[in-house]
């Protein structure tokens, strides 16, 4: 069953609901904090960056999904503009309703509107179900990603 989800820019008062989505995750449980102030400061910083957007998915005015999309100008790939997505989450009780597909379609539409020719992201190696999901949506695991904590 496909759910009807409305996607829009997140509001500051929705940060606690977004944080709950980030925490309600096998990896997020151990890496997201309990203190709201840094997340509100991060939201404010994102709002100040014109190319950085926090998107929520709503059903009946409740936040049930989220993602962050950042538009990046670059010289490589014939000066391709790309979109980077992060923090993709769907509330567990809403999974299996094709909300994740709708979320990715929304991200793709926003990327195209912003003039991007590439949509990219990283995903943790342990998220094997997510890998199958992204494969099914036509993404290719073409690169190896590296991260270094600073």
Distance between CA atoms of 59 and 146, rounded to whole angstroms?
35
Any idea what DSSP says for residue 98? S
Question: Quick one: which of 129, 42, 140 has its CA closest to 90?
Answer: 129
Question: Quick one: which of 115, 102, 117, 105 has its CA closest to 51?
Answer: 115
Distance between CA atoms of 22 and 17, rounded to whole angstroms?
9
Position 126 scores a pLDDT of: 74
> Ranked by mean pLDDT, which of 21-25, 98-102, 106-110 comes out on top?
106-110
pLDDT in tens, 37-86: 999 999 999 999 999 999 999 999 999 999 999 999 999 999 999 999 99
pTM value is 0.90
> Ranked by mean pLDDT, which of 16-25, 63-72, 85-94, 130-139 comes out on top?
63-72
Position 135 scores a pLDDT of: 85
């Amino acid at each position: 069953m496909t759910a009807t989800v409305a996607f829009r820019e997140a509001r500051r008062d929705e940060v606690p609901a977004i944080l709950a989505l980030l925490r309600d995750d096998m990896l997020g449980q151990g890496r997201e904090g309990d203190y709201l102030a840094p997340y509100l400061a991060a939201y404010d910083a994102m709002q100040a960056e014109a190319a950085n957007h926090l998107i929520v998915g709503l059903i009946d005015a409740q936040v049930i999904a989220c993602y962050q999309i950042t538009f990046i100008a670059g010289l490589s790939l014939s000066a391709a503009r790309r979109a980077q997505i992060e923090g993709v989450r769907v509330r567990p009780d809403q999974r299996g309703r094709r909300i994740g597909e709708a979320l990715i379609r929304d991200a793709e539409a926003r990327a195209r509107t912003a003039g991007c020719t590439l949509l990219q992201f990283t995903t943790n190696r342990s998220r094997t179900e997510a890998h199958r999901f992204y494969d099914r949506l036509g993404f290719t695991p073409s690169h190896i990603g590296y991260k270094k904590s600073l």
